[in-house]
């Protein structure tokens, strides 16, 4: 199935062989690959990757839909909807709370909004900003592009990213796959050290329009950020360095990014009450064709969740429910191999 799925990718996506080598060796798992083979060979496939996600600081199991592809001869036959349904049911049975994906275009964003494709909704946003040097750099910090990425890089990343209240957390193999992709695509994988100790990690690349874009940057001090910006300016010979940072969806000049849907409404709403026991809400969920168990009317009051017959004023899809809570918070979601 692995080779057939890779061959399907070749016919559907414009990815380099180097990228696919990394994806299918570092990310791909047979148990995560869902396929449809109406005539014996793989006609459609997607990868359903498990992730840990923080929402209001609480951990949740989440699924990430990646690489949904259908061979041209089998399109518009419902195979994508079939695979998405299988993915959503699996997540529900395995105890996941949310499912996420990153559409490759606005057309695909509308595709995933459809109820038969999961009723997803845009739930995370980013904003592109210029990364400026705020003060001096620390001359005791050294920036390198190492040929070998040691275990201490992920240890640093995991420790310092744990402070985010809203984040999709990459596992160790996700982290190193992202480093490898950035490297083979001509980007810069930078490590900052102070007295041999890791104090910062940065992934950046020069895009087709000539701008330097930081894909990920994590530092333990502002001086380290300044050192990264200074290094990138010289390395890529640019005057400005830009970054795409997570922001709330209500801000100005925001860019829609990942889409999400709730997999288990009761579990999701109970997690909200665990953080905000005084939170009050009367809401309905409808349009969940894949997990009809979610459809119903819910009341949150006095720290309790009640399933009620009383029709609320507001009824949303499972994607709309996810966006209601996630979109108002900057949600860190990086190293997903989408750029």
- pLDDT higher than threshold 80 for residue 250: yes
- pLDDT higher than threshold 80 for residue 8: yes
Which residues lie below 8 Å from residue 95, measured CB to CB, with a gap of 6+? 61, 264, 267
Mean pLDDT for the chain overall: 96
> Residue 113 and residue 111: Cα distance in Å, rounded?
5
> Residue 20 and residue 15: Cα distance in Å, rounded?
7
CA dihedral of residues 40, 42, 44, 47 (deg, nearest 10): 130
Do 1-124+257-331 and 128-248 come out as alike in CATH topology?
yes
Q: Which residue has the tokens 């300044």?
A: 226
> Which CATH class for the 1-124+257-331 domain?
alpha beta
pTM of the model: 0.96
Give the pLDDT confidence of 16-31 residue by residue, as tens digits.
999 999 999 999 999 9
> Residue 211 and residue 85: Cα distance in Å, rounded?
40
Confidence of residue 251 (pLDDT cuts 50, 70, 90): confident
CATH superfamily placement of domain 128-248 = Gcn5-related N-acetyltransferase (GNAT) (3.40.630.30)
- Stated as kind and residue range, the H or E segment containing 91 is helix 79-93
Q: Check if the beta carbon of residue 23 is closer than 8 Å to that of residue 4.
A: no
Q: Check if the beta carbon of residue 324 is closer than 8 Å to that of residue 268.
A: no
Kind of pairing between the strands at 296-301 and 197-206: unpaired
Q: Check if the beta carbon of residue 109 is closer than 8 Å to that of residue 103.
A: yes
The separation between CA 68 and the C-alpha centre of its own chain, rounded to angstroms, equals 15
Give the mean pLDDT of 307-322.
98
SS3 46: strand
Q: Check if the beta carbon of residue 168 is closer than 8 Å to that of residue 206.
A: no
Q: Which residue has the tokens 């929402």?
A: 55
- Per the DSSP assignment, residues forming a β-bridge with 247 are 125
Domain boundaries, the chain: 1-124+257-331, 128-248
Give the mean pLDDT of 130-156.
92
Q: Check if the beta carbon of residue 71 is closer than 8 Å to that of residue 80.
A: no
The fraction of the chain above a pLDDT of 70, given in percent, is: 100
Residue 76 tokens read as 């518009």
Q: Which residue has the tokens 């498990």?
A: 50
- pLDDT higher than threshold 80 for residue 110: yes
Of the given ranges (131-145, 172-186, 303-317), which has the lowest mean pLDDT? Answer: 131-145
Closest by CA position to 284, among listed 307, 250, 257, 302: 307
Other beta carbons within 10 Å of 263: 31
- Stated as kind and residue range, the H or E segment containing 161 is helix 151-161
């Amino acid at each position: 199935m692995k080779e057939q799925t890779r061959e399907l990718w070749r016919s559907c996506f414009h990815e380099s062989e180097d990228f696919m080598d990394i994806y299918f060796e570092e990310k791909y798992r047979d148990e995560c690959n869902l396929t449809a083979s109406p005539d014996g060979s793989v006609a459609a496939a997607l990868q359903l990757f498990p992730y840990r996600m923080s929402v209001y600081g609480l951990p949740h199991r989440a699924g990430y839909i990646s690489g949904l592809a259908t061979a041209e001869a089998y399109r518009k036959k419902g195979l994508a909807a079939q695979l998405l349904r299988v993915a959503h049911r699996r997540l529900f049975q395995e105890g996941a709370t949310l499912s996420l994906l990153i559409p490759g275009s606005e057309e695909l964003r509308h595709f995933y909004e459809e109820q038969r494709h999961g009723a997803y909704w845009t739930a995370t946003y980013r904003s592109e900003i210029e990364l400026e040097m705020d003060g001096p750099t620390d001359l005791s910090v050294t920036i390198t592009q190492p040929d070998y990425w040691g275990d201490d890089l992920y240890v640093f990343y995991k420790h310092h990213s744990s402070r985010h209240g809203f984040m999709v957390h990459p596992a160790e193999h996700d982290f190193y796959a992202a480093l490898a992709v950035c490297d083979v695509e001509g980007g810069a994988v930078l490590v900052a050290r102070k007295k041999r100790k890791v104090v910062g990690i940065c992934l950046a690349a020069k895009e087709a329009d000539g701008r330097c874009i930081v894909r990920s940057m994590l530092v333990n001090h502002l001086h380290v950020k300044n050192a990264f910006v200074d290094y990138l300016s010289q390395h890529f010979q640019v005057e400005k360095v830009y970054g795409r940072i997570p922001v709330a969806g209500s801000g100005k000049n925001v860019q829609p990014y990942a889409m999400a849907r709730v997999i288990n409404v009761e579990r999701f709403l109970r997690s909200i009450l665990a953080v905000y026991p005084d939170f009050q809400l009367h809401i309905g969920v409808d349009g969940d064709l894949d997990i009809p168990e979610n459809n119903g009317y819910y009341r949150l009051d006095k720290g309790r969740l009640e399933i009620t017959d009383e029709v609320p004023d507001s009824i949303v899809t499972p994607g709309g429910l996810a966006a209601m809570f996630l979109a108002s918070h900057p949600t860190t979601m990086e190293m997903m191999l989408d750029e």
